Structure 1
Amino acid sequence: VDEKFAASTPRGSKRTSGVVVSHDVPMLSIQDVFTKEDVLRWVHEVRSRHPDVKFSVEQKIDGLSMSIRYDKGKIVLAETRGDGLLGEDVTLNALAIPDVLQDLGPAGKNDAGLLLPLEIRGEVYMTLEAFEKTNERQELEGKKIFANPRNCAAGTLKQLDPRMVKKRGLSMFLFNMQRAEDETLMQSHQGALRRMKAAGFPIVPSVLCISDEEILAQIDAIGASRGELSYDIDGAVVKIDQIAYREDFPAGSKYSAGHIAYKYPPEEKEAVIQKIELSVGMTGRINPTAVFTPIRLCGTAVSRATLHNQDFINRLGIGIGDTVLVYKSGEIIPKIRSVVREKHPEGGEVYQIPSVCPVCGGRVEREAGSADMFCTNEDCPAKLIRRVIHFVSRDAMDLKGFGAEYIQSLIEGGYLRNIADLYSLK
């Protein structure tokens, strides 16, 4: 057994996540670029030193990275990226992912038929179908739903229960051969991927490119395919195919050498505003929310986005029936970017927040020096509901047994007129 592999592999037959392990080869990030000019600038720099260079252009899977070590053809350790130097042992959970091979078979042997240590890296992710099913179960069980597939995959892999990993249906794409005693595996990135594909690993979709035109065309092709994939991607990775060349292009202590990642502009889709709903916060602030035809963005169904305040509505000229461009800020929060003017309905008008509270009918006024509008009725039930919900929440007094519907029924029944009444309930 290779000494480095053996020395850094925890002893004992039982492994659990949460155990901190050190990476023999740091698991660094990939440096992001946001323009194709920056992609070509980097490509030209590499080509100036190695005219025969080839590049692998591949999907950047939106998940979390995992490193897997094999010895004598058997998996001995799976670890998360962590801070790049230290990660968590998630071997038991990795074994519950169908895409992770427990035995490499012939692919783990060299030309002499000897089984040698090697280390691969892959991206753990959730398909959109698995994510939707998981959130449906979460909702039925009264649990918090996940914001996106990446968060769900990350949280699931780090749990202590491999049964949960299997239940939620995590997947993995192999994207790199990190280390191998067999030198033939460490010559060409594409060659290593083919070897691992033959072993049975799902390999990240990639294309070998030489010219600038080929590289840019593949980046465009990956971007155009985003809406058709069964999983999320968050960019295109350009890698030097000749592995020996990579160390000639270090990117500092934070980033992997020989790689860059092109990040696509945020995905945008059109939606038609069907109605605008108003809610009242605990301070009395009126919150307008656009409800539109459901669309899919970044792997999740979206049908609502905040309109912030009247100034925002006026600036964009938003009204019911308008077609708007919707995107996700940070690929999480739905936001409206603009109105599609050529699709503005005939006779459509800019929406105006009413001057009466939608809950109590009290007067609504714009606060001096603020863009927000507030209900002026201090006895507004919506204010009290929000205040009580906040008061009993985990972030405040952490009082058990007070759900939102229960609090609302207490207020409507006259049992709760202020927060102090909580302590006189029987």
Structure 2
Amino acid sequence: MDIQQQILQLRDALNQHNYNYYVLDKPVISDYDFDQKLKELQALEDAHPEFADAYSPTKRVGGEITKNFNTVVHEYRMYSLDNSYSKEDLLDWETRVKKAIDGDLQFVCELKYDGASISLTYEDGVLSKAVTRGDGVQGDDVTANIKTIRSVPLRLKGDYPPKFDIRGEIVLPFDGFHKMNEERIEIGEEPYRNPRNTASGSLKLQDSAEVAKRPLECLLYNITGTNLNISTQFEGLEKAREWGFKVPQATILTNSIAEVLKFIEYWNVHRHELPYETDGVVVKINDLYQQDELGYTAKAPRWAIAYKFKAEQVSTRLNDITYQVGRTGAITPVANLEPVELAGTTVKRASLHNADQIEKLDIREGDEVFVEKGGEIIPKIIAVDFSKRPEYSQPTQYIENCPECGTSLVRSPGEAQHYCPNYNGCQPQIVGRIQHFISRKAMDIEGLGGETVALLVKENLINDYSDLYTLTKAQVIPLERMAEKSADNLINGIAASKNIPFERVLYALGIRYVGETVAKKLAKHYKNIEKLSLATILELVTVDEIGIRIAESVVDFFSAERNISIIQRLKDFGVQLEISSEQLANQTNKLGAKAFVVSGVFESVSRDELKKLIEDNGGKVASSISSKTSYIIAGDNMGPSKRTKAEQLKIPIITEYDFLNLIE
């Protein structure tokens, strides 16, 4: 046998053994024998570099150094999931689904593993890219580190699509986590707190050889792409297994919510027997066509929901209450607790939300309180153990002045929170607004983090976000932990942010109640900042989905002279404060705010392209039929109940070609 043939056979054998061990959990050779074969392959590859292969099993040991993780935009957005906590929540979700789509429903139940979300891209059967979830729109490229995880196939087998993304969770099994901690304690290091955070942190280690030492696993649960030749979620999972992915076996296909509830009930008890952390069950509509019909909200798919297991609870002492000031001036009371272990982490603080919550629970300093993690993420106090209340306990008196600047607090009628009105002089508000401005979903300024913003404000180098554009390298390089390369990145990142589109700049301004979705609607309607700044409350509430509270907030923002001055400076610095000419060229108002429901399968354009055409021409995409629907664009396989409802409401049903004629 020649050397090349020997190398290829060893690679095939080792890949199969990797698959048997890490995916099937059914090893057929000992660890020693595996290591001997790996050493043999390594020696042959070292002696014959002409037969090198970037996807060889020998590359699993890592060694690639990544100084900076590049930000990558997801080709297909990674959405969050809506949460449910009761049977009633699930039944309500099922009712909403049945109203929106026709036909029988099947549900896929998957365990919700608590790890770090990842998106893997495969092209021609080879792993080409691995990107963290990030904010759902974009994440960090961690391909070098992911390649070291043995349960991630570097090459696929079988009949796979030419290109697709597959989403999953990077997890650290309990056994591996405990072994890592034993080793750390032995050498005098602090143990890691919990498997989830350790798994997440592992993905951002600069040396992939260090990642390779950690017993991480990758559990896959969703295939995304076009022309996949897959019709259901369950079929997709079965195919993923055939291609070589580790897909959890606990997943089942059910025909009713009653069966879903049985699955939840079983795993609520037996999840503690699993080798990984789990915090709930994900329920998905099985049929991908029905998923497509249901679509998405701004944040989550309508075709899936997460059922969260009841949160773990502990009791501990509330030592004292302090108060934090947010970027909008909102005051948040914080309970400082005697440290206590909860769901794998040490909890020292919990939000008390507002004065009403403190009064409702009658929370006082010195109380023994019950703490749980809301959704097993954010600690919160749920009750007081009155039997242990100190004898001379006094009711909590909510503060009257800002803890940072001393200004008298205000609380508007109908508002739950107190606010510090010192908008321009209260430092946490100033820092918070600038931190929001630079955040990923806003201006996404590379090289500038929250701590650096606080330092720049402290050193009086900036007082508002327009000051960022006056910074020079000479000003920032003396700052703590600021090297020459970091200073260059910061200044270049600020310059690059001038190309961020208007809708994100509008969100970045931090106008109260103006989130991402509202910012998009306002930008699309008013086209530039000048027109928006002159809008009245009455004009604003005529814009789709803009209510009185948002309208009042927008008018208040633009009535402040300082805000107008800051916006003028941003404009002078070249920040995008209007929709670009390219975007405007593709937009019309031909549809005059008419509402369209898109249903069925289309020939000449995809469903997503249809929706974009509706919005680009001034129309509105609705998810369900109502008396406010102007047209239904019907393709093949439109549900009979939708057709019946449209006929009852006398709503015109048009084809995709009728619609394209409408906008020509």
TM-score, normalised to structure 2, is 0.41
Residue equivalent to 1:28: 79
Whether the aligned pair in 1 keeps the contact of 2:132 and 2:139 (CA below 8 Å) is yes
Q: Deviations over 1:160-191 (max 9, x none)?
A: 222222212111110101125332x2x11101
Change (3 A) 1:15 1:66: farther
Q: CA deviation at 1:143?
A: 4.0
Secondary structure of the residue that 1:226 maps to in structure 2? helix
Change (3 A) 1:229 1:159: same
Q: CA deviation at 1:305?
A: 9.1
1:190 and 2:242 matched: no
Q: Pick one of 105, 116, 122 that aligns with 2:168.
A: 122
Q: CA deviation at 1:310?
A: 8.0
Whether the aligned pair in 1 keeps the contact of 2:284 and 2:304 (CA below 8 Å) is yes
Number of residue equivalences: 310
- How far apart, in 2, do the equivalents of 1:160 and 1:288 lie? 35
Q: Pick one of 126, 148, 152 that aligns with 1:74.
A: 126
Q: Pick one of 291, 304, 323 that aligns with 1:259.
A: 304
1:200 and 2:252 matched: no
Q: Which amino acid is the alignment partner of residue 188 of structure 1?
A: T
Whether the aligned pair in 1 keeps the contact of 2:112 and 2:278 (CA below 8 Å) is yes
Residue equivalent to 2:157: 105
1:176 and 2:222 matched: yes
Q: Pick one of 130, 142, 159 that aligns with 2:205.
A: 159
- How far apart, in 1, do the equivalents of 2:297 and 2:96 lie? 16
Q: CA deviation at 1:268?
A: 4.5
Change (3 A) 1:47 1:131: same
1:224 and 2:269 matched: yes
Q: Percent identity?
A: 30
- How far apart, in 2, do the equivalents of 1:21 and 1:326 lie? 38
Residue equivalent to 2:141: 89
Whether the aligned pair in 1 keeps the contact of 2:366 and 2:390 (CA below 8 Å) is no
Residue equivalent to 1:249: 294
TM-score, normalised to structure 1, is 0.61
Change (3 A) 1:85 1:240: same
- How far apart, in 1, do the equivalents of 2:300 and 2:204 lie? 24
Q: CA deviation at 1:50?
A: 2.5
Q: Deviations over 1:269-290 (max 9, x none)?
A: 8x9x9xx9x9xxxxxxxx9969
Change (3 A) 1:335 1:46: closer
Secondary structure of the residue that 1:131 maps to in structure 2? helix
- How far apart, in 1, do the equivalents of 2:380 and 2:296 lie? 34
Whether the aligned pair in 1 keeps the contact of 2:126 and 2:154 (CA below 8 Å) is yes
Q: CA deviation at 1:124?
A: 0.7
Q: Deviations over 1:252-274 (max 9, x none)?
A: 222134211111221348x9x9x
Q: Which amino acid is the alignment partner of residue 125 of structure 1?
A: V
Query: Which structure has the highest helix share of the two?
Result: 2
Secondary structure of the residue that 1:246 maps to in structure 2? helix
Change (3 A) 1:70 1:369: closer
Q: CA deviation at 1:250?
A: 3.1
Q: CA deviation at 1:37?
A: 1.1
Whether the aligned pair in 2 keeps the contact of 1:75 and 1:103 (CA below 8 Å) is yes
Q: Which has the higher contact order (CA 8 A, sep 6+)?
A: 1
Residue equivalent to 1:415: none
| Aligned-residue CA RMSD (Å) | 4.1
- How far apart, in 1, do the equivalents of 2:395 and 2:367 lie? 17
Q: CA deviation at 1:145?
A: 3.5
Residue equivalent to 1:214: 259
Change (3 A) 1:25 1:257: farther
Q: Which runs of 5+ in 2 are unaligned?
A: 1-53, 56-63, 320-335, 350-362, 398-454, 456-479, 481-664
Q: CA deviation at 1:251?
A: 3.6
Q: Deviations over 1:39-79 (max 9, x none)?
A: 11111222342332211011111111111111111111111
Q: CA deviation at 1:26?
A: 0.6
Change (3 A) 1:88 1:331: closer
Q: Pick one of 367, 379, 396 that aligns with 1:312.
A: 367
- How far apart, in 2, do the equivalents of 1:231 and 1:37 lie? 28
- How far apart, in 1, do the equivalents of 2:251 and 2:165 lie? 20
Q: Which runs of 5+ in 1 are unaligned?
A: 1-11, 110-115, 279-286, 317-324, 342-349, 354-364, 371-394, 399-426
Q: Pick one of 110, 126, 142 that aligns with 1:58.
A: 110
